[in-house]
Structure 1
Amino acid sequence: MQFPQGANKLSGFILIPPQNGIIKKFASLDLPEWVVEYNVTGKIGQNYTAAMKSTDNIASFVVEGATEKIVKQRLLDIEKWFNCGSEWIYDVF
């Protein structure tokens, strides 16, 4: 099998799961250039429970990098950035 030749880039994706509470604000979408795709599926003001399945998410991101180490670090960075920049109301139950 032949694969097309292209730039030497690796990619990875991450799903951001919901937390227990109401999402008040998402992180700003001023994204680094290495985020090549994103999708925010959560709705502001909606009440969520913690993820029950591995595919439950409120946002997803695809990142690129030259090495596996860089891609892994960028996935960790985007998860931290999104979670730190989003706001939740927790005492709703």
Structure 2
Amino acid sequence: MPKNENLEFVSFDDYLAEQMTDPEFARAYARTQEQKQLLATLRNHRTQLHLTQQDIADKTGIKAQNISRLERGLSRPSLETITRYAQALGGSIVFQSQH
């Protein structure tokens, strides 16, 4: 295989900036970031309430291993699952317009 002498290192930030010029990519990235933020908020509230993943599992009927996967971003939870998790924390999911 011929060696390409023109290869250069591209940082993730530079790569991301380039990809963000694509409107479809930018929208998908924004959705992913919002989802990650929501899951982090749920996890943070759980820990502030001194609840374990097993506590949430017991309150929601969702397996503890699935709570773990949800919190780590390894699954795409349904709205039903997120709602049950929020309710187990004494909260709810609310739409907030940015306009």
Higher strand proportion (structure 1 or 2): 1
Which structure has the highest helix share of the two?
Answer: 2
TM-score by length of 2: 0.27
Bigger Cα Rg:
2
